[in-house]
A and B are shown apart, each in its own frame.
Chain A
């Protein structure tokens, strides 16, 4: 409920300046610098959820930690860029910068988290079928090819700046990798995946998809000099952070609902079971 109110608050704020967003006034600046707090909230919730599911000792715990770190890295990137633009007031944000350490870091974190998610969804069992092997091959290829064609085709690389070249290529390809892993995991295992965990897993995959849309949109607009802070791309980023936060909350509620079913008459309990936080 609190998270939904935060989203509504930022959404209302976003709407309020759309008619004057081109002016890039104070309201837009403050919005750009603060909406990342949704990612911070999601990260905190995610860390608590991860602890309940065994933390770094379990596959699911590790996945939740990595998703949370990804959210944290997104917020760190937002804050660093905000500092460059409104703190130091640079004419042009350096590229690469410390903000890219955070943003590209989040891409790597999401790739690792998505890979762990495939273990939770038991993808290896579905991949025994030829049909799903084909899906596992074609979906990533299609997404990588699309990203390359739309975002990198005819891109001019400045090979005197190797880090820049690496990031120019790494951002769209890295983002395509994490989303193709997540989508493949869903497509391949959706018939076998069920139970109470399914909703949490599906929500995470949906959140990654929205994150990919926002990353793709940003790179597309930015490469054409068309990105304007405070417009739709930032709104999609806000929604993606919200979606991932909801996914983290879902894992909390799943744990709590399972815990509440543990009754004191459980034949294996000699003391009262743990109560949900």
Chain B
């Protein structure tokens, strides 16, 4: 998986640890994500930054701004390896 797919997987994993299967269902609503969660496989289509922004927005619907902080915290190590302009806007 490329870095963006890994970011998506990490975010879903982190949210799953809090709210369980609902986290997976929320992620599946993002059209640009193809998720095979039993295999922990994530494929992105289109602009990956937009896909991640939409994923974070899904969780923001559940918990508000806390969800954004939680997602950012989960992937901050991975974000450090990305140039600033390649970081999804919701995770900046």
Q: Residues of A with Cβ closer than 8 Å to B? A: 52-55, 57-61, 119-122, 125, 189, 191-198, 255, 258-259, 261-262, 266-269, 273
Given A192-B65, A193-B63, A258-B22, residue A58 in contact with residue B28 (CB < 8 A): no
How many angstroms from the CA of A273 to the CA of B26 in the assembled complex?
Answer: 12
Task: Enumerate chain B residues within 8 angstroms of A60, measured Cβ to Cβ.
Answer: 18-20
Contact with A along B69-82 (1 / 0, CB 8 A): 11001000000000
Q: Are A197 and B35 in contact (CB under 8 A)?
A: no
Please count how many residues in chain B sit with their CB below 8 Å of the partner chain's CB atoms. 27
Cα(A269)–Cα(B17), bound, Å: 21
Instruction: Select which of B27, B34, B60, B69 is within 8 A of A195 by beta carbon.
Output: B60
Q: A60-B18, A61-B20 are in contact. Are A192 and B66 (CB under 8 A)?
A: yes
Given contacts A53-B20, A59-B17, whether A192 and B25 have CB atoms under 8 Å apart is: no
Q: Tell me which residues across on chain B come within 8 A of A258, comparing CB atoms.
A: 22, 25-26, 62
Chain A residues lying within 8 Å of B20, measured Cβ to Cβ, are: 52-55, 57-58, 60-61
Query: Which B residues form the contact surface with A (CB < 8 A)?
Result: 16-22, 25-29, 31, 33-35, 60-67, 69-70, 73
Determine if A54 and B25 form an interchain contact, defined as CB atoms under 8 angstroms apart: no
Known A-B contacts A57-B20, A58-B16, A59-B17; the reply to A193 vs B25 at CB < 8 A is: no
Given contact pairs A196-B61, A258-B25, A273-B25, A58 touches B19 in the complex (Cβ within 8 A): yes
B18's nearest neighbour on chain A, judged by CB, is: A59
- Inter-chain contacts of B33 with A (CB < 8 A): 268
Residues in A neighbouring B29, C-beta threshold 8 A: 261-262, 266
Among B16, B28, B66, point to the contact of A268 (Cβ < 8 A).
B28
Q: Which 8 A-B pairs have the closest CB atoms?
A: A54-B20, A194-B64, A268-B28, A122-B66, A58-B20, A125-B69, A192-B65, A195-B64
Cβ contact within 8 Å between A119 and B28: no
In the complex, the chain A residue whose C-beta lies closest to that of B66 is A122
Complex Cα distance, B40 from A75, in Å, reads 42
Q: Is the CB of B62 within 8 A of A197?
A: yes
Q: Shortest beta-carbon distance, A3 to chain B, in Å?
A: 24
Q: Are A58 and B34 in contact (CB-based, < 8 A)?
A: no
When chains A and B are docked, how far (Å) is the Cα of A177 from the Cα of B71?
29
